[in-house]
A and B are shown apart, each in its own frame.
Chain A
Amino acid sequence: MRSALDSLGRFARPAQQVINVLAAGPRTPARIRREVGARCGDDLGPGTLFGTIARLERRGLVEVVPASEAPRTYRLTALGAETLEAQLASLARTAPTAAPTTSLAPSIGSTRRQGLTA
């Protein structure tokens, strides 16, 4: 199955990383950058980071947390959470012996419980 992120070209990998980080909860761009660096070792440059956020926002995968003060914080939308779940499920199918990244699942669940599906 083609992922919604596949069409993003060179932004596909940063988009995946941003979504992974946001699965743990709302983050500011600065924190997203820091956590992507800590988790993946990739240094998302500011141009790439905002190019990625703009694409994800336009596709309805992330959104600004309403009433968040500057700097804005972003969170996954329901569609973004579904996309991440689908990505993980696809990964689990293609690599059945690999250990699933279960740490993300509860975060997605909690994100959805926070009312993002509305």
Chain B
Amino acid sequence: MNTLMRLYPRAWRERYGDELVALLEEHPATLADLVDLMRGAFDARLHPQVPGASAPDKEMPMSQRLFALMAAAGGVLWMAGIAAWLTAPLTAVGDRDSASAMPMTALGIALMGIAIGELGTRPGNASSRTMGHVIAGTSVLFAVLLPLPYVLNQTDAAWGFIVLSLFGFPVVAMLGAGRGRMNGVIPTWLAVVIGVGAVTAWVGFGGSTPDSAKWVALLFGLAFILLGGQALTTARRSLEPVTS
């Protein structure tokens, strides 16, 4: 129930939260009530009736939460893609069958790239926002390139696209982390972790790396899960009242 309540604007919760809890104590929520509460939360944000309910400085921006979740989800997809690739059966020519890993990895790259581009943006700065979009867009391009040869049935060209995408995206991620560090929105330690993660991705996909060492590429995904968690935590902390 607390999770549902958090969907409502803070001002709304302060005004009606206690009454809602009292109501639900008397009438335990049914499934229809839960749906109605979600609809009510959406309405409360879209059509705020309580003064201050829409004040942006009192709420974690929805976009911040969304990009944080994208970072974490992208990291998980990246790790799942790596795991699927490294546990896939070997083909006749000695490569691993990447059919199941490819979509997860591509989607992971897209989500991670959008997240690092947007989360690294300096608030209220138009040129920084544009650069964030460029980083996000480039990452999405890498994500599209990865499965493209398979979609077009041009598998002879696949290796070039894979190299471009899997080695190019970590570069973009490093740049994005460095930019976020310079903009003061990504802490130094996290920028370093993402940088190290990018290196592990290169090592993981290196042709001479033994299979057992390729698992190190999982760290790149883990770095983005940390990025998502950090973005959520920072935004929440900034909303808490300052106590003297």
The residues of A with any CB-CB pair to B shorter than 8 Å are 28-30, 33-34, 43, 45-51, 53-55, 57-58, 70-72
Contact = CB atoms under 8 A, between A and B. Distances in A.
User: Could you say which of B15, B35, B37, B40 has the most chain A C-beta atoms within 10 Å of its C-beta?
Assistant: B40
Interface stretch (B21-29, B85-93, B195-203): B21-29
Contact of B37 (A28, A30, A45, A58): A45
B239 to A, nearest CB: 22
A48 B33 CA distance: 9
A54 B8 CA distance: 13
Contacts of A30: 22-23, 26-27
B18 A51 contact: no
A107 B148 CA distance: 72
A47 B41 contact: yes
B38 A28 contact: no
Contact of B49 (A34, A58, A70): A58
B237 interface: no
Q: Is the interface of A mostly helix, strand, loop or mixed?
A: helix
Contacts, number: 69
Nearest to B29: A46
Interface of B: 12, 15-16, 18-20, 22-24, 26-27, 29, 32-33, 35-41, 43-44, 49-50
12 contacts: A29-B19, A34-B27, A45-B37, A46-B24, A46-B40, A47-B36, A47-B39, A47-B43, A48-B39, A54-B49, A58-B49, A70-B18
A71 B18 contact: yes
Given A50-B16, A51-B43, A45 B36 contact: yes
Pick the 3 closest A-B CB pairs, nearest first: A47-B40, A45-B36, A54-B49
Nearest to A47: B40
A96 to B, nearest CB: 37
Contacts of B38: 47
B222 to A, nearest CB: 38
Given A46-B24, A50-B19, A53-B16, 8 more contacts: A29-B20, A45-B35, A46-B20, A46-B29, A47-B37, A47-B39, A54-B12, A58-B50
A101 B199 CA distance: 77
Nearest to B26: A30
B20 A50 contact: yes
Contacts of A71: 18-19, 22-23
